[in-house]
A = this chain, B = another copy of it.
Amino acid sequence: MSAATGRLRMGIVGLGRLGKRHAGNLAYRVPGAALVAACSPVEEERAWAREALPATRLYDDYADLLADREVDAVWLVTPSSLHAQQIVDALHAGKHVFCEKPLSLDLAECERVLAEAARYPHLQATIGFMRRFDPSYRDAFEKIEAGKIGRPFLVRSQTTDQNDTDGFFVRFAASSGGIFLDCTVHDIDVARWLLGKPRAKRVFAAGAAVLHDGLREFGDVDNGVAICEFEGGKLAMFYASRTQAHGNDTHSEVIGTSGALVVGRNPRLNRVEIYDATGVRNECTPSFFDRFEEAFLFEAQAFVAAVLSGGSAPAGASLADAVEATRIGAAMRESLLEGEAVVL
């Protein structure tokens, strides 16, 4: 933290589409934060930073940013395959670290990061499961904590994207880890969070490539379903899709012994209803960007507040949470490929 201003000096790494959004938040909308540095190997992205961000030091090499002693924390929005090593490097450099999900698609590497981080208990290390910061998910979590639905025992959660005829995710399939590790991992984290972090016992998954045949060569599907059994009789059902017609429809339901909460069903774009010859309708959020705009902001605010308060508890999902979500997602992928239930 800057002794002069009391603000947390942040360095953002990666300025793609999502990185730009995070940068704007950190620069202008997070009390207590000062975005002092940015890093991208792409000249065009650094040019954007020169225009759009307040006076920040720009780097094209991550090592240089880590060497910047006026940076207290790094914010990683880089390709997934780099996450694990970059987190470890940040911790080695004595910096707090926020990293976009996933931690890693490789369980062994996840475990390695977890072990390494244990050596730096005074440093905040959080994985960006932003749904935990969406105000509606947050409200549901608090209602559950307050006992409003009794004992929660079942989560049904989905991450479904509007069909992308451009097929970006098909090209991305080789490195995405497949639909369960790319999409459902969010729902797995939601389920664990809302059910009180029960240990997973067994998963079963199935799926189909309904519109995007190109996924098959990667063992991937564009629509996947899964069940996860946890200890203590808790359950979760998941659905992930790349082919929805109406928009990005990311929602969750948690059922308890005396009630249930649904978060985000009918992904209304806004508060407008349209009455016309086709009926009464609302438009839908086209992408997760539109749906989770506030969540991205609030997770940044929470991270900064957590560091500034000096507490050791991560503001959102811990590395251990991320490892567990990856373990479950990887088991789903295995189940999909094998056609059998997988015991964890």
Interface residues of A (CB under 8 A from B): 28-29, 31, 134-136, 139-140, 143, 148-151, 153-154, 156, 202, 204, 206-211, 223, 225-227, 229, 233-235, 237, 239, 241, 243-247, 249, 251, 255, 257-284, 339-341
Q: Distance (Å) between the CB of A276 and the closest chain B CB?
A: 4
* Residues B284 and A280 in contact, CB atoms below 8 Å apart: yes
A283's closest neighbor in chain B, by CB?
A: B279
* Residues A225 and B223 in contact, CB atoms below 8 Å apart: no
Q: Which of B234, B241, B264 contacts A271 (CB 8 A)?
A: B264
Q: Distance (Å) between the CB of A256 and the closest chain B CB?
A: 8
* Residues A270 and B210 in contact, CB atoms below 8 Å apart: no
12 more contacts with CB within 8 A, not counting A261-B272, A340-B341, are: A134-B271, A139-B272, A149-B276, A153-B210, A204-B204, A208-B235, A225-B235, A243-B257, A246-B260, A265-B265, A280-B281, A281-B282
Q: Which chain B residues border A150 with CB–CB below 8 Å?
A: 245
* Residues B223 and A206 in contact, CB atoms below 8 Å apart: no
Q: Distance (Å) between the CB of A294 and the closest chain B CB?
A: 10
Q: Distance (Å) between the CB of A249 and the closest chain B CB?
A: 8
* Residues A235 and B207 in contact, CB atoms below 8 Å apart: yes
